[in-house]
Amino acid sequence: MGKKPVISLRVYRGKQMSYDAQGNVQNENQLVKIIHDTKEWTNFMKNLIANGYLKVDVADVKLVEKKKDEDGFFRDTVSQYDNKILIIKEVEDVFNKQTTVPMSSSDKKIAELEAKINALLKVQEDAVVVEKPKAVNKPKADKKVIEILRVDYADLNQGKKAFPGWDEVTLRGKIEELKKNQD
């Protein structure tokens, strides 16, 4: 009989991995031993997610060879398997294929547009930053002076009051215009 690798898998059930304060896994888990390249192996790998497994770790890989002894009985001889990394990668690939959903055409378009937006935003960040000009602070006018100018404007303009938003300079200019028109 040929050599068959026996794989010990640690499978974890649940919807999310949970750990205690010491970092130990709290999810229900068990050790499953399966012979590689058998129908049992292929069915188990197909139904990882359907069986409710959240995570699968390869605990150990051993080679089991059946040999006939002197008495005519078949005995199992166990030895280390050299290509453990290949088995680990195979299990990870199968598990990742089942957990990832392929992108639809609209998802691909959205991803492309997001990449373009990010590229444009990066270009904008690299652009020169122009500072906004600060507002010029006008010196605060004396309220008494403005009131006197308002009264003068009303006297010259036949009792019509000055606009409340006019400042001292504007009022002086309007008064000068009225004086020129009266002369």
Residue 39 pLDDT exceeds 90: yes
Last residue of a domain, one of 66, 82, 99: 99
Q: What is the DSSP letter of 47?
A: T
Instruction: Give the model confidence (pLDDT) of 44-99 as tens digits.
Output: 888 888 888 888 888 888 888 878 888 888 777 777 787 888 888 888 888 777 66
- Asked if residue 118 belongs to a domain, the reply is no
- Contact in structure between 66 and 75 (CB atoms under 8 Å): yes
Which value, to the nearest 10 degrees, does the dihedral of the CA atoms of residues 28, 34, 38, 40 take? Answer: -40
Query: CA–CA separation, 99 vs 159, rounded Å?
Result: 86
Q: Examine the domain organization and report whether 12 and 80 are in the same domain.
A: yes
Domain range for 174 is: 143-182
User: Is residue 46 left, alpha or beta, with left meaning phi > 0 and alpha meaning psi from -120 to 50?
Assistant: alpha
- Asked if residue 117 belongs to a domain, the reply is no
- Asked if residue 95 belongs to a domain, the reply is yes
The pTM for the full model equals: 0.48
| Number of separate domains in the chain | 2
Q: Examine the domain organization and report whether 83 and 12 are in the same domain.
A: yes
Q: Examine the domain organization and report whether 71 and 19 are in the same domain.
A: yes
Query: CA–CA separation, 64 vs 5, rounded Å?
Result: 6
Spacing of C-alpha 178 from chain mean position = 69
Residue 136 pLDDT exceeds 70: no
